[in-house]
Chain A
Amino acid sequence: MVLIVDDEVFALDLIKRKLAGSGFEFITCNTVALAKELIKENTNIKIVVTDLHMAGEDGFNLLMWLASEYPKIKKVVMSAHTHEDILTPNNEIIHVDAQLKKPVDIKNELIPMLINLLKEV
């Protein structure tokens, strides 16, 4: 299962529409707090796709938590800018499995990337 996290409702609507019928099992949420609850409750979440800049707890926080608590879950970042290294506000480097530059082409970028990552899981 794939978890998609973005605080922008219309971004989630777009992703849900485009992923529907793709064969992926996925869930979405719009806060990091809810994402953490879903990850704790669903042991079959294998990939987390997250926006970086969100109000409240942001994507950096989620990525650091995943690296610490659930290192086997694949991490994908959606961001307006791609980075050679993902640096937290404290300049710690976070390893991610893939980065997608916004606006993301769901059919031609996200879906093929998810297919590749699921093969590794």
Chain B
Amino acid sequence: MLMEIKKFSVPELLLRLNKTYQSFAEQQNMRYLTRYNSPEVVWLQGDRAAIEQILSQVIERAFEVCDKENIELVVEYIDPELIVAIYYPGIEIESVKFKAEILLNDSAYPPEDLVQKWQMRDIEMSDLVELVLVSIAEKKTWMDAAVANHDVVELKELVHAAKGVTGNYHMEEFYDLFSKLDEYLVKNPKIDETVQHMVASLSEIINKIPLKYFKNNEV
């Protein structure tokens, strides 16, 4: 059977595997982690479905022999190969190699939504990005209350904390806005129209995010 040759993004594939196996691991009271030591976008030539199946089998074999602690998928690009190894706990159990080429061009693989874009910036933290998002939406409601109460002290603390966490998780759209607001509040420590407008504009970012990311988390 001829293998269909197509290019696809490795980070997107790893994200999909993360979603599947993180929840599977939780059910087993274990953790599934990914360590991605590669450029932001690595493309593989090959049958994506077949490669996903190979990696799934490697991961599932690890779950069969390991019953506690962490299973870690470590992905590294060493030109011209992508090397994927499974570790438990800290010991390499199995590895596979694929021929791969670097394609450092984000526009070549547009993410589905903002959240996926942030997750692909750091695959290792993809599950936490969703939790951070929910916490930011929660902070937004507290910021609205601080604005309504003209509580600039509370607002400054919330903005500073949000700036820190969104910077850590590469959530640029939020980070840029919180940075500007943080800087503005340092120079103008009062709730004025500019502050009100900037806090309100957070909703524009939140509204771009599909509801599914908030569905399982009360906001």
| B25: min CB distance to chain A, Å | 14
Closest chain B residue to A15 by CB distance?
B168
Contact between A102 and B128 (Cβ–Cβ < 8 Å)?
no
Contact with B along A70-86 (1 / 0, CB 8 A): 00000000001000000
- Residues from chain A with Cβ under 8 Å of B160 in the complex: 53, 80
Q: With A17-B124, A80-B163 as given contacts, are A10 and B35 in contact (CB-CB < 8 Å)?
A: no
Q: Does any Cβ of B come within 8 Å of A36's Cβ?
A: no
Interface residues on A, range: 10 to 19
Q: Point out the residues of chain B lying under 8 angstroms from A18, CB to CB.
A: 124
Is B90 among interface residues, defined by CB-CB distance under 8 A? Answer: yes
CB <8 Å contact, B90 and A8: no
Whether A11 pairs with B168 at a CB distance below 8 angstroms is yes
Please name all residues of chain B whose beta carbon is closer than 8 Å to the beta carbon of A89 when the two chains form the complex.
none
What CA separation (Å) do A10 and B135 show in the bound complex?
10
Q: Does B210 contact A (CB under 8 A)?
A: no
**Chain A interface main SS type:** loop
In the assembled complex, the Cα of A53 lies from the Cα of B161 at a distance in Å of: 9
A14 to B, closest residue via Cβ:
B168
Q: Are A13 and B128 in contact (CB under 8 A)?
A: yes
- Of residues 88 through 111 on chain B, the ones whose CB sits less than 8 Å from some CB of chain A are 90
In the assembled complex, B33 has its CB within 8 A of some CB on chain A: yes
8 A Cβ contacts from A44-94 to B: 53, 55, 80
Q: How far is the CA of A14 from the CA of B131 in the complex (A)?
A: 12
Query: What is the interface of chain B mostly: helix, strand, loop, or mixed?
Result: helix
Least CB separation from A107: chain B residue: B37
Given the complex, which residues of A lie within 8 Å of B135, measured CB to CB? Answer: 10
Distance between A95 CB and nearest chain B CB, rounded to angstroms: 24
The residue in chain A whose Cβ has the minimal distance to the Cβ of B33 is: A17
Q: How far, in angstroms, from A103 to B125 measured CA to CA in the complex?
A: 15
Q: Which of A10, A80, A104 contacts B169 (CB 8 A)?
A: A10
Which chain A residue shows the least CB distance to B72?
A: A21
Chain B residue with Cβ nearest A18? B124
Q: Could you tell me if A10 and B168 are in contact, using CB atoms closer than 8 angstroms?
A: yes
Bound: A76/B161 CA distance, A:
19
A88 to B160, CA, bound (A): 19
Which residue from B33, B72, B128, B168 sits with its C-beta under 8 Å from A103? Answer: B168
Contacts of A20 in B (CB 8 A): 33
Closest 4 CB pairs between A and B?
Answer: A103-B167, A103-B168, A10-B165, A10-B132
Interface contacts beyond A8-B164, A14-B125, A103-B175: sample of 6 additional A-B pairs, CB < 8 Å, sorted by A: A13-B128, A21-B72, A21-B90, A80-B164, A80-B182, A104-B168
By a beta-carbon cutoff of 8 Å, the part of chain B in contact with chain A is 33, 35, 72, 90, 124-125, 128, 131-132, 135, 157, 160-161, 163-165, 167-169, 175, 182
Interface CB pairs A-B, < 8 A, 23: A8-B164, A8-B165, A10-B131, A10-B135, A10-B169, A11-B164, A11-B165, A11-B168, A13-B128, A14-B125, A14-B168, A18-B124, A20-B33, A21-B35, A21-B72, A21-B90, A53-B160, A55-B157, A80-B164, A80-B182, A102-B168, A103-B167, A103-B168
